[in-house]
Structure 1
Amino acid sequence: MRITNKIMQNNSLYNINNNKILQDKLSTQMSTQKAITRPSDDPVVAIRALRLRSSVSELTQYYKKNAPDAQSWIEVTGKGLSTVTDILTDMNRQANKGANKDYTSSELSIIVKQLQSLRDEFYATGNLDYAGRYVFTGYRTDTTMTFTKGEVEETKPDYVIHEQGTMADFDSINYTYTAKLDGMNASNYDKNKVIEQDVVNGDIHRIRLAYNQVERFDGIQLVDKDGKKQTYTADTVSTTADPDPYKTIQDANKAGTSKIVFVPETGEVLFSDKAYETMNTAAGAISGSETEIRMNYKKSKWEVGDLRPEHYFACEGTTTKNGVTKTVSYNEEYLEGKKEKQSIEYDVGYNQKIEVNTTADEVFSHRLDRDVDDLVTALASLEKIESTRTDLKKVLSGLDEGTADYKEVQTKLEAADKAFSYIRENIHDLMQHTITSIQQYLDDTNVAITDNGTRESRLDLISNRLMDQQTTFKTLQSENEDVDIADVTIQLTSTKLTYDAALMATGKIMQTSLMNYI
């Protein structure tokens, strides 16, 4: 085969160009530190790079964003629960002091005021937020746990509440009927006759609603598993009525009749012994102490710090703002027995989620507020009868012993002493009950703290695993996409020498032509 100078020149230029292309490729790898710049350079590497980049991107999202966000939520919740524990511990300490029978009413008043203050702080802690989201309100992260001043004044909330409980929610209240001693003082002591036997004390069966100051009560229903209801109506009797609702039940017990009374001011449903026995028997035929009790009522008088019903019950809430009325139904599924926790979860891995929230009903019970209300009511009764005793003692000290007036006042004082003894003993019992209740609230809080801590520990393990996975995938990504700089440097230097040598050789060849031989 005849090789002409032209062929040699073309081949030389072609090889020089290929060498230049390789030099450009290596130079690009050197500057970008990547093995390929376009998929066509190496389709296998390109496909693997896409998969690895997707994996690294997801892991980065989990490790750098989701996990820290979940960690922050859990930490904020933990601090809030720790505050709740401190508050309940302080309340328990105050209740233990109040259980001392030697304390006077003025000393008890100080303790009760401290309990009220701690109670308010307890519920205020429930409005804790993280990044503008309230941590204890389930899915409703834009809604406070309690009513704020602006909401109460501006929206005028009005709720119809369907409160669900069980027969186990029944308790009792101790009541002392003070007869004509009520309101007796040094100026009117001689207008009514009272003897010791007129003072009557006893326990009354009751159910406390979650709220006081209720406008309308629609009775009590026993609900079986099939949704069938037995309805019991109640007479509404105000605390200012004569006789008051508690005396009404006492009279029913004395007569052996069935009577149910609703007290709107205190949110209590009172049962005579026979009424309670009737309902208890009916409940026993259904599910015993676990039989559902449903109470429907309307409340529109809300105060700052009251727990919002939508976080606890099925209800319909109506608000009015700027002349616009809006009604929203909440938790309708509760009435069908489908109550589930409103869990907030974060994606922290492939097909892996972690729950981060604690809901209001796990820690912030209405019962604490109602327990303090009972103490406030009992203390008011104690202060009232104590004032009567003090006035009667002053009157008695100014009378001659043995006179008819002296004997009459002495009789009234004995009745007042008896009433005082009953009421003072009731406060002691309430303090003891409060201690027990607070301990239960502490136990509930400790369970929530344990659950929260367990989530945090699990999240730490997940974060460590995510860090290891991210490192592994980044290493694989680097091995797939990145070049060895030392190797590329050697290749680039070799290619440059080859290129320079090719130029020199081609230069020699290009100098010779056919004219040199003519």
Structure 2
Amino acid sequence: MRITNNMMIANMTRNLGNNLTRLNNYQNQLDTGKKIQVPSDDPVVAARALKLRTDVSKVEQYQKNLGDAGSWLDATDVTLGKIGDVLQKARELSEQAANGTNTPEETQKIGLELKQLRAQLIHLSNSTYAGRYIFSGYKTDQKLINDNESDPNFGKFMINVDSTREKIFYEIGVGDSININIAGGDLFNSGGNASNPGSGVATSDIDDINYPLDITAANNSITVTINNFGTPQTVTAAIPVSNPPAVEYNTPVQLAQAIKTAINAAIVPDPDPTLPANQGIEVTIGNNMIEIKTQIKSDTAAVTFDQTGSLLSSIGTKAPVTTTGDIGDTPDMIKMFDNIIADMDEGNFKQISDFLDVFDQQISNVLRCRADVGARQNRVDLSTDRMSIDLVNFTDLMSKNEDVDVAETIMNLKNEENVYQASLAGGARIIQQTLVDFLR
């Protein structure tokens, strides 16, 4: 095959371009520190790079989640510690007040201090982290308990919080999440839910009832006026007597169930079909208080007792307290304070002494919640350490996949520079003769 000058020049130009391209690639690698500039340079490296970058981004986000979760749990732990201190101080004061040597004035002064501790407890229930209420379940923008000291409903739940369902979870790893909050009802309502039914409520103290309670036909009626959506209905119900038929009331819960059944059976449905159905009443017992409330939520909902000749007046309960409107239940922890403060105001030393066990139960419940938070804090700390190690490992893998070996790249760059210089010198020698040489 005949080799022409044009073929030699074309080959020289092509090879010179190839040498310059390789020189440029090594120059770019040295400038950027990366093995590839576009996916087409090495699709395998590019695919691994995308996967490893995603892994690193996930780990970094998990670290942020862990930081936020840890801070939330720290804030919760500090608040639980303060609540425990308040309860312990209140117990010490109650123990002091239970001493029969105190004068009524001294007991009342102790009660004043307990009122301040109660207010402090309520304000602690609305503690926040980063502007979010930590005990309000999902409703982190709403207060758990009414902390307006001038409001008649001071100390009552303002929202409903389901202690089982309203758990806030943070994802702290692949398939790994952690609950970071304590529901308000779990802490303040003895492991129950926070409840704001918005119904009218009437309560009466049943401390003086002796069980088994013997109900006779002469005092077995109870009259309640229920005001649902502005329509009052007075109901007189008969509680089954003790003998006959054979009915025994051995506990407050049995009495409450009998009252509930009797009143609901006596309620007449509203004949107007346009009005909401009358949902009846609920009767509950808590801290020796009987509580009757409507199940309908209405600004005009109310319940009142007619004590004249009724069962409750006959068995010696104290005058009921009636409330109206959209209100919430009182947490057990706050009820405990209300009852013991009332006993201090009356100088009832025996009842004050009985409440020491209730204090121990509430303190134990706080310690249970705090132990749970502590265990979660330990888990967050362990996960934080693990994520730090994962970040180092993934970053190292990403670097090995993407980053160039600087020493090797410099060596390759110098080699390509020498090749390029040699190719330029070789090209200059391809045609040394000029047209003048052929004209001689």
CA displacement 1:247-279 (0-9 Å, x = unmatched): 9999x9696866476999xxxxxx999599635
Normalized per residue, the structure richer in helix is: 1
Q: For 1:253 and 1:488, how far apart are their aligned partners in 2?
A: 99
**506-515 vs 70-79, greater mean Cα deviation:** 506-515
Q: For 1:443 and 1:314, how far apart are their aligned partners in 2?
A: 32
Would the alpha carbon gap of residues 215 and 459 (structure 1) be closer, same or farther in structure 2, given more than 3 Å must change? closer
Would the alpha carbon gap of residues 62 and 317 (structure 1) be closer, same or farther in structure 2, given more than 3 Å must change? farther
Partner of 1:106: 105
Confirm or deny that 1:438 pairs with 2:359.
yes
Choose which of 241, 248, 256 in structure 2 pairs with 1:278.
Answer: 248
Partner of 1:96: 95
Aligned residue type for 2:92: R
CA displacement 1:39-82 (0-9 Å, x = unmatched): 1111111111111111111111111x211111111111111101
8 Å contact from structure 1 (residues 215, 297) kept in 2: no
Q: For 2:158 and 2:67, how far apart are their aligned partners in 1?
A: 39
Partner of 2:24: 24
CA displacement 1:278-305 (0-9 Å, x = unmatched): 3559989xx9xxxxxx99469xxxxxxx
Aligned residue type for 2:145: T
CA displacement 1:384-443 (0-9 Å, x = unmatched): xxxxxxxxxxxxxxxxxxxxxxxxxxxxxxxxxxxxxxxxxxx22222222211111111
Aligned residue type for 1:8: M
Q: For 1:113 and 1:150, how far apart are their aligned partners in 2?
A: 15
Partner of 1:74: 73
Aligned residue type for 1:366: P
Would the alpha carbon gap of residues 253 and 381 (structure 1) be closer, same or farther in structure 2, given more than 3 Å must change? farther
Would the alpha carbon gap of residues 254 and 246 (structure 1) be closer, same or farther in structure 2, given more than 3 Å must change? farther
Please report how far the alpha carbon of residue 26 of structure 1 lies from its aligned counterpart in structure 2 after TM superposition.
Answer: 0.8
Please report how far the alpha carbon of residue 479 of structure 1 lies from its aligned counterpart in structure 2 after TM superposition.
Answer: 0.9
Q: For 2:73 and 2:159, how far apart are their aligned partners in 1?
A: 34
Partner of 2:397: 476
Q: How does 1:75-474 map to 2 (within 5 A)?
A: 75-149=74-148, 215-216=200-201, 259=220, 274=242, 278-280=248-250, 296=281, 317=297, 366-382=331-347, 427-474=348-395
CA displacement 1:121-168 (0-9 Å, x = unmatched): 112111011112111111111110112449969xxx99999xxxxxxx
Q: For 1:131 and 1:25, how far apart are their aligned partners in 2?
A: 50
Sequence identity percentage:
28
Aligned residue type for 2:29: Q
8 Å contact from structure 1 (residues 160, 316) kept in 2: no
Q: For 1:467 and 1:484, how far apart are their aligned partners in 2?
A: 25
SS in 1 for 2:430: helix
8 Å contact from structure 2 (residues 9, 430) kept in 1: yes
Would the alpha carbon gap of residues 450 and 380 (structure 1) be closer, same or farther in structure 2, given more than 3 Å must change? closer
The gaps in structure 1 that reach 5 residues or longer are: 162-209, 218-235, 240-244, 265-270, 288-293, 299-312, 321-363, 383-426
**6-15 vs 366-375, greater mean Cα deviation:** 366-375
Partner of 1:52: 52
Please report how far the alpha carbon of residue 2 of structure 1 lies from its aligned counterpart in structure 2 after TM superposition.
Answer: 2.3
The gaps in structure 2 that reach 5 residues or longer are: 161-194, 226-238, 258-263, 265-279, 284-292, 301-328
8 Å contact from structure 2 (residues 122, 147) kept in 1: no
Aligned residue type for 1:95: S
Choose which of 424, 427, 434 in structure 2 pairs with 1:503.
Answer: 424
Q: For 1:263 and 1:314, how far apart are their aligned partners in 2?
A: 11
CA displacement 1:315-374 (0-9 Å, x = unmatched): 765579xxxxxxxxxxxxxxxxxxxxxxxxxxxxxxxxxxxxxxxxxxx98233223333
8 Å contact from structure 1 (residues 160, 315) kept in 2: no
Partner of 2:413: 492
Aligned residue type for 1:451: D
Q: For 1:39 and 1:160, how far apart are their aligned partners in 2?
A: 55
Q: For 2:137 and 2:102, how far apart are their aligned partners in 1?
A: 43
**463-472 vs 271-280, greater mean Cα deviation:** 271-280
Would the alpha carbon gap of residues 257 and 23 (structure 1) be closer, same or farther in structure 2, given more than 3 Å must change? farther
8 Å contact from structure 2 (residues 34, 404) kept in 1: yes
SS in 1 for 2:139: coil
Aligned residue type for 2:130: A
Would the alpha carbon gap of residues 75 and 376 (structure 1) be closer, same or farther in structure 2, given more than 3 Å must change? closer
8 Å contact from structure 1 (residues 95, 431) kept in 2: yes
Q: For 1:368 and 1:43, how far apart are their aligned partners in 2?
A: 65
Partner of 1:2: 2
Please report how far the alpha carbon of residue 100 of structure 1 lies from its aligned counterpart in structure 2 after TM superposition.
Answer: 1.2
Q: For 2:437 and 2:33, how far apart are their aligned partners in 1?
A: 49
Would the alpha carbon gap of residues 379 and 274 (structure 1) be closer, same or farther in structure 2, given more than 3 Å must change? farther
TM-score by length of 1: 0.54
Q: For 1:158 and 1:498, how far apart are their aligned partners in 2?
A: 83
SS in 2 for 1:457: helix
Would the alpha carbon gap of residues 2 and 513 (structure 1) be closer, same or farther in structure 2, given more than 3 Å must change? farther
8 Å contact from structure 1 (residues 260, 272) kept in 2: no
Would the alpha carbon gap of residues 96 and 152 (structure 1) be closer, same or farther in structure 2, given more than 3 Å must change? closer
Q: For 2:7 and 2:62, how far apart are their aligned partners in 1?
A: 62
Q: CA RMSD in A?
A: 4.3
Please report how far the alpha carbon of residue 447 of structure 1 lies from its aligned counterpart in structure 2 after TM superposition.
Answer: 0.6
8 Å contact from structure 2 (residues 146, 157) kept in 1: no
Please report how far the alpha carbon of residue 86 of structure 1 lies from its aligned counterpart in structure 2 after TM superposition.
Answer: 0.8
8 Å contact from structure 1 (residues 48, 480) kept in 2: yes
Please report how far the alpha carbon of residue 516 of structure 1 lies from its aligned counterpart in structure 2 after TM superposition.
Answer: 3.4
Would the alpha carbon gap of residues 70 and 151 (structure 1) be closer, same or farther in structure 2, given more than 3 Å must change? farther
**22-31 vs 252-261, greater mean Cα deviation:** 252-261
Partner of 2:276: none
